[in-house]
A = this chain, B = another copy of it.
C-alpha cells in the first residue's frame, strides 16, 4: 500500500477510510459471519463487487486471513488477525459518538457487542 503521508490519521484512512470496511469487520468480528455469503447478507445491503474488493484489500493488508473450509473446499473463511482486532477501540469510540449525536430522542441504537 502506498500511503499519502506520514500523518498516522491519514494512513489509517488509507486503509479503513470508507463506508464499508469497518462494517465488513463488524460482521466477521462481532457477528462471527466469516464466509462471503454470510457477510454479503449484512443488513445494510452491500454490493457483492464492493464486498469482494474489501475482502481482497483487507486480506492484502493483513487484517484478514483467508482459509479454506475443512468440510467444503469451495468455501473460504475470512478470519480476523490481531491487526484487525486492535481496531475495536476505534469502533467503540465511533459507536459511542454516533449513539450520542446521530440518534433522535425516540430512536434506539442497535446493540453492538464489542
Give A contacts to B, CB under 8 Å.
3-15, 17-20, 22-23, 26, 43-45, 83, 86-87, 89-103, 107-110, 112
Closest 8 CB pairs of A and B: A8-B98, A12-B98, A8-B95, A17-B19, A12-B94, A6-B110, A8-B109, A90-B93
| CB of A58, distance to nearest CB on chain B (Å) | 13
**In contact, B108 and A97 (Cβ under 8 angstroms):** no
**In contact, A98 and B43 (Cβ under 8 angstroms):** no
Which residue of B has the minimal Cβ distance to A15?
A: B102
CA distance A9 to B25 in the complex (A): 11
CA distance A90 to B88 in the complex (A): 11
